[in-house]
Amino acid sequence: MSESPRRESPLAGVGSQPVVGDAATVRLAERPFRGQLNLRGDVASPTFVDAVTGVLGGPLPVQPNTVADHGEVRIFWLGPDEWLIITPEGAGSDLKTVLQKALEGIHFALSDVSSGQTTLVVSGPDAGSLLSKSCTLDLHPRAFAPGQCAQTLLAGSTVLLSRLDRAHGPEFELVVRRSFADYLWRCLADGAEEYQPA
């Protein structure tokens, strides 16, 4: 096989079609192919904590439902012994190798899930309203601010939701398992119809 392998994001079929245009008050997009590592380990173990902190350039978030940013790497709290590390595209496997080496001899688990989930971005003034159609979480900025994340049920799919408000308005990221991505996208696009200019 001479040609280089072709990869495809889970939303290759629909994500390229702009279901919600720029004029709308809510926009949908996919951020595909980011590096994603699932890390499990014991924060009570100083060797584990030190090794991870050394590699990532900062500590793991230990406060439930929070996010830590170390340079271009984002780490999400998933559970008391579980994190999701998101890297820019292409940086996942290198980081995995480095982490694995640093953690040698320690009880931990590191799984590459880059192909197993993708990221949907919902932004615009009505982004929160759109998500609330399918999600029971309190998304008011008082209850869910930038820096927080939550695993929850959105349109029947388990998602990791975080808020990243930008200068131009609210922005939410949804990390979703690959097999649910198409359904979730269609659900959100359907709910977003209301926010489209006639």
Partner 1 sequence: MLQIDCPWCGPRDETEFSYGGEAHIVRPSDPDATSDEAWADYLFMRTNPRGRHAEQWCHAHGCRRWFNVVRDTVSYRIEAVYRIGGQGPGGSHDPA
Partner 2 sequence: MTQPRRLPQGGRIDRSRELAFSFNGRPLQGYAGDTLAAALLANDVRLVARSFKYHRPRGIVGAGAEEPNALLQLGGGGHTLPHQRATQVELYAGLEAVSVNGWPSLEFDLMAINSRLAGLLPAGFYYKTFMWPQRFWGRYEHQIRRAAGLGRAPMEADPDRYDKTHVHCDVLIAGGGPAGLAAALAAGRSGARVILADEQAEFGGGLLGSREQLDGRPATDWVKAAVAELRGLPEVRMLPRSTVFGYYDHNLLTIAERVTDHLPPGISAGPRQRLWRVRAGRVVIAAGAIERPLVFGNNDRPGVMQASAVSTYLNRYAVAPGRAAAVFTNNDSAYRSALDLLDAGVEVAAVVDVRLRVDGELPARVRAAGIAVHSGYALVDVQGGKRVEGARLMALDSDGRGFSSAYPVGLRCDLIAMSGGWSPAVHLHSQSGGKPRFDETLAAFVPGTSCQAEVSVGAARGCFDLSGCLQEGFEAGAAAARAQGFEARPGAPMPAAVIIAQAPMMPMWRVPSWRGVKGPKQFVDFQNDTSAADIALAAREGYRSVEHVKRYTALGFGTDQGKLGNINGMAILAETLGQDIPSTGTTTFRPPYTPVSIGTLVGRTVGDLFDPLRKTAIHEWHVEHGAEFENVGQWKRPWYYPRQGESLDQAVYRECLAARRTVGVMDASTLGKIDVRGPDAAEFLNRVYTNGWTKLGVGRCRYGLMLGEDGMVMDDGVTARLADDHYYMTTTTGGAAHVMGWLERWLQTEWPDLKVYLTSVTDQWATVAVVGPQSRGVLAALCQDIDFAAEAFPFMAFREGTVAGVAARVFRISFSGELSYEINVPADYGRHVWEAVMAAGAAFDITPYGTESMHVLRAEKGFIIVGQDTDGSVTPDDLGMSWILAKNKDYLGRRSLLRPDSVRTDRKQMVGLKTLQPGFVLPEGAQLVDDPDAAKPVPMLGHVTSSYHSPCLGRSIALALIRNGRQRHGDVVYAPLSDGRIVRAEICDPVFYDPEGARQNV
Residues contributing to the site for partner 2 (CB under 8 A): 1, 3-10, 12-13, 33, 38, 40-41, 81, 107-109, 111-117, 129, 132-133, 135-138, 140, 142-143, 155-157, 177-180, 182-184, 186-187, 190-191, 193-194, 198
- Closest among 132, 135, 138 to 157, alpha carbons compared: 135
Beta-carbon neighbour count of residue 8 at 10 Å? 10
**Smallest Cα–Cα separation from 37: which of 7, 82, 72, 101?**
82
C-alpha gyration radius of the chain: 18
Residue 9 or 129 having the CB closest to partner 1: 129
Contact 131, 154 (CB under 8 A): yes
Q: How far is the CB of 111 from partner 1 (least distance, A)?
A: 14
Nearer to partner 1, 48 or 180 (CB): 180
Nearer to partner 1, 29 or 110 (CB): 110
Residues that bind partner 1 in the complex, under the rule CB under 8 A: 64-65, 78-80, 82, 136-137, 150-153, 158
Q: Smallest distance, Å, CB 90 to partner 2?
A: 12
Q: How far is the CB of 143 from partner 2 (least distance, A)?
A: 7
Of 58, 68, 34, give the one whose Cα is nearest residue 147. Answer: 68
Q: Judged by CB, which is closer to partner 2: 57, or 97?
A: 97
Beta strands 82-87; 35-40: pairing state = antiparallel
CA distance 66 to 161: 11
What number of H helices and E strands is found in the chain?
4, 10
Using CB distances below 5 to 8 A depending on partner kind, what does residue 101 bind out of partner 2, partner 1, none? Answer: none
DSSP code of 60?
Answer: P
Nearer to partner 1, 46 or 79 (CB): 79
150 binds, among partner 2, partner 1, none (CB under 5 to 8 A by kind): partner 1
